[in-house]
């Protein structure tokens, strides 16, 4: 399912318009992004948890040249599914 299909499903399930569903989805995505930028996790009980994980700097190898390269530390978004979501797909 892609973004436009998801928005269509939201519109159908809420008996609303696609533009309204688009606004709600965009607002949800913006709130999650803003919270993660601040380093705050977003937990939706039963659905899951969005959070930021920090990766330490490390050394890697360029597969074409076989030279060692330094990979800088970074922050990456992560998602962990909640119990209700896990149960729903079993």
Digit-coded pLDDT (tens) for 24-63: 999 999 999 999 999 999 999 999 999 999 999 999 999 9
32, burial (CB in 10 Å: exposed 0-12, middle 13-18, buried 19+): middle
CB atoms within 10 A of CB 7: 19
Determine the pLDDT at residue 4.
94
- The encoded tokens of residue 40 equal 């705050």
Determine the pLDDT at residue 66.
92
Gap between the terminal Cα atoms of the chain: 19
CB atoms within 10 A of CB 16: 13
Banded pLDDT at 64 (limits 50, 70, 90): very high
Q: What is the pTM of this model?
A: 0.79
Taking only the tens place, the pLDDT of each residue in 7-29 is 999 999 999 999 999 999 999 99
């Amino acid at each position: 399912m892609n973004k436009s299909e998801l928005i269509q499903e939201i519109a159908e399930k809420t008996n609303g318009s696609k533009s309204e569903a688009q606004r709600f989805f965009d607002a949800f995505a913006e709130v999650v992004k803003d919270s993660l930028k601040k380093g705050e996790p977003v937990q939706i009980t039963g659905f899951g948890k969005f959070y930021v994980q920090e990766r330490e700097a490390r050394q890697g190898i360029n597969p074409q040249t076989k030279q060692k390269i330094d990979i800088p530390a970074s922050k990456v978004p992560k998602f962990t599914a909640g119990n209700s979501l896990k149960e729903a797909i079993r």
